[in-house]
Chains A and B, each alone.
Chain A
Amino acid sequence: MPWRRVRSVLEPGRHYFSGADATVEAAVAARCGYFAGYPITPTTEVLERIAVRFPEVGAAFIQMEDEIGSVCSCIGASWAGAKAMTVTSGPGFSLMQEGISHAIMTEAPLVVVDGQRAGPSTGQVLVGGGDVMQARWGMHGGMPTIALAPWSVQEMYDGTIRAFSLAERYRTPVMVMAEAATMHLREIVEVAPEVDLYERDKAPGLPPFGADSPDGVPPMPGFGEGEKLLVTASTHDARGFRRTEDAHTHRTLTARLFNKIMMHVSEIAEVEEHYLEDAETAFVAYGFTARSALAAVEELRRSGLKVGLLRLKTLWPFPKDEVGRLSERINTMIVPEMNLGQMIHVVAEVARCKLLPHQQMDGTVIYPASLIDTARSVVA
């Protein structure tokens, strides 16, 4: 069975720590064996804590010369059998995109945490949410990805553990689209005594890049296991032989890479509903902004307004069924984002109700008061 229940490494119970700390402890809990990163505000705290924590638990840590080296060394480590992670922020996330495409093509499990800051470019080191489309379309070639959107320190812990399992289950890079606000937030985290982990599927001798079904995920051997692996990100057949001029091989491979994510959306994508039973207006929000939205919803409910929240815990693959269904029974969806409009485009593809953007990109979080104003403008 690929699922394994293990004891938590951190002492079970309540802890008070930051999102950065939670990221590290989640990696430890998930038995991450390799971390490579490069300092960048606002995620250096992760690097610093890992530098202390990983040696304690016998995992490898390396500060690389840049983010390109970081993500590439993680892929090498992943193929050598370790669960691997890197953490960065906007500019570093851009540098990692080519590596992410390599991990997608070679089907290397990998966790990339992006503590988003306000771009473009160096911009501000303060909070931003401008990388969520990059998590889907940043790499060349345009393959589906998995990206989570934690809204609390608790979810930085639980969500990052889940990211490792998703990465192993689907043999793909999983992105945790955190925000500077959550990275730096200190909150109470409840650590469970045990953790469920999906461990790498091994089946010696089976082709590492071929599956029985068009949406299958092949077992993953590692280096040093006598499999004489041929790992390449060029177009390859089930055994890894390059077939760079063969249309059929490319079509088959990319279709499976597409299907293994897109035919499993219901298993991967998670949403959370708040006050939606009788709602006429709903926020569709993610990450830290969803907290503001929930605070706004509760305030608006106190004055009798039928407002709710659909929280996207997963951004990619996009939970379009849930969003589409909700749109059929409400009047208006408000999509607040710490960017100038990204996820709203995907919401628009499936929504059959009125859509209202609420966009802010200035290095500050969206406060509940401004969302209350926006919602009131709809209801009025």
Chain B
Amino acid sequence: MSADWRRYLRPGVTLPFCPGCGHRLLLRHLLTAIDDMGMDIDQMLFVSGIGCGGWIPSPCINADTLHCLHGRAVPFAVGAKLANPALTTVVVSGDGDLADIGGNHLIHAARRNYDITVICANNMNYGMTGGQVCSTTPVGATTHTTPDGNTFNPFDLCALVRAAGAQYAARYLVTQGPELVGAIRRAIGIKGFSFVEAVSPCPTQFGRQNHLDGVKEAYAYVEALTIGKAACREPASPLDGRLLVTGEFANE
């Protein structure tokens, strides 16, 4: 892997992520994929919502970026894409933004099969607001709004968007660099709605609340939650909210 991804960073910008934040890795993988593909960055648009995930493209990526209302990155992207179909349009945002407050837009965009790519930086909680439960928080995990542990099953976002009509979905940990870069490349290359979930540890908020006292522990926690598609007999849903199945989910 080359250092070429850095040339897509906006000059003068200090990366805004906490120490150990997985989003920093996701940014690198995204830009590496774009570099690998030889994309014309001036014909790309990066759209993001509100939250830590929204800061991945804005202001970090030196391209057209649109930082939106909380939850609404997908409809902003849809409008831009329909108004200028030449734009390769990529949404990068968080799980709370895309799946909780913006969940309805997400499934409808998948259903209508707009030619956009949605990359979800899934850190399993609302990081920017201080660490609250969201629709991807594992059962039992502690957050500031679930002090006794989350009791609700999380979404399987890949299964959700696939059921809604997405052409392609993939899930990998941000530590699975080559796989994630490959998935992002395939997603951007697909004509139609594509979705990539990057499971991204949040040591600062999620980690501290769950007694994962270092970056290493936070990463070990999400790694323990995941299982490869091939290793999983039923690649359908995160079993009891404890497992995230990694791999690609697309039309055979």
CB distance from B85 to the nearest CB of A (A): 9
Which residues of chain B are within 8 angstroms of A66 by Cβ–Cβ distance? 104
Which residues in A have their C-beta under 8 angstroms from that of B83? Answer: 33-34, 60, 76-78, 80-82, 84
12 example contacts (A-B, Cβ-Cβ < 8 A) are as follows: A65-B104, A68-B105, A69-B78, A76-B75, A81-B84, A102-B69, A223-B66, A224-B87, A225-B42, A226-B42, A228-B42, A231-B64
By secondary structure, the A interface counts as: mixed
Please, how many residues of chain A have a CB less than 8 angstroms from a CB on the other chain? 42
- Judge if B185 is at the interface, Cβ distance under 8 Å: no
Partner among A79, A80, A82, A233 whose Cβ is within 8 Å of the Cβ of B69 = A233
Chain A residues positioned under 8 Å from B45 (CB to CB):
80, 223-224
Q: By the criterion CB–CB under 8 Å, are A99 and B78 in contact?
A: no
Whole-angstrom CA separation of A369 from B47 in the bound complex: 55
**B138 touches A (CB below 8 Å):** no
Q: Is B160 an interface residue (CB 8 A)?
A: no
Interface string of A206-239 (1 = CB under 8 A from B): 0000000000000000111111111111100000
Question: Which residues A296-351 have CB closer than 8 A to chain B?
Answer: none
Q: Using a Cβ cutoff of 8 Å, how many contacts connect chains A and B?
A: 128
Instruction: Report the minimal beta-carbon distance from A98 to chain B, rounded to whole angstroms.
Output: 6
Taking the complex as formed, is B59 at the interface, i.e. its CB lies under 8 A from any CB of chain A?
yes
A72 lies within 8 A of B80 (CB): no
Q: Is A224 touching B43 in the complex (CB atoms < 8 A)?
A: yes
In the complex, are the beta carbons of B78 and A102 less than 8 A apart?
Answer: no
Partner of B79, one of A73, A225, A240: A73
Is there contact, CB below 8 Å, between A231 and B67? yes
Report B-chain residues with C-beta under 8 Å of the C-beta of A34.
79, 82-83
Q: Are A72 and B84 in contact (CB under 8 A)?
A: no
- Mark each residue of chain B from 56 to 81: 1 if its CB lies under 8 Å from any CB of chain A, else 0: 00110011111111001011111111
Measured between beta carbons, the chain B residues less than 8 angstroms from A234 are 67
- Cβ A102 vs Cβ B64 within 8 A: no
Contacts of B76 in A (CB 8 A): 72-73, 75-76
A75, B43: Cα distance in complex, Å: 18
CB distance from B191 to the nearest CB of A (A): 18
B10 at the interface (CB under 8 A from A): yes
Contacting residues, chain B, for A230 (C-beta < 8 A): 10, 58-59, 65, 67
Q: Which residues of A contact B87 (CB under 8 A)?
A: 80, 223-224
Closest Cβ neighbor of B42 among chain A residues: A226
- B-contacting residues of A (Cβ < 8 Å)? 33-34, 36, 60, 62, 64-66, 68-70, 72-82, 84, 98-99, 102, 222-234, 240-242
Expressed in whole angstroms, the minimum distance between the Cβ of B7 and any Cβ of chain A is 13
Q: Which residue on chain B has the smallest CB distance to residue A222?
A: B84
Q: In the complex, A62→B112 CA distance in Å?
A: 11
Q: Is B144 an interface residue (CB 8 A)?
A: no
Known contacts A69-B108, A223-B84; A232/B79 CB under 8 A:
no
Cα A271 to Cα B166 in complex, Å, equals 52
Contact B69 A76 (CB under 8 A): no
The answer, yes or no, to whether B86 is at the interface (CB within 8 Å) is yes
Whether A77 lies near B82 (C-beta < 8 A) is yes
Residues of B within 8 A of A82 (CB): 83-84
From B65, B68, B84, give the contact of A102 (CB < 8 A): B68
Interface residues of B in 105-157 (CB under 8 A from A): 105, 108
When chains A and B are docked, how far (Å) is the Cα of A70 from the Cα of B79? Answer: 9
Across the interface, name the chain B residue whose C-beta is closest to A69.
Answer: B75
Docked complex: B13-71 residues within 8 A CB-CB of A: 42-43, 45, 47, 58-59, 62-69
Contact across chains for A228 and B69 when beta carbons are under 8 A apart = no
Other A-B pairs beyond A60-B82, A68-B105, A99-B69, 17, CB < 8 Å: A69-B108, A70-B75, A72-B69, A74-B79, A75-B79, A77-B80, A78-B79, A223-B84, A224-B42, A224-B84, A224-B86, A227-B64, A229-B64, A232-B58, A233-B68, A241-B59, A242-B67
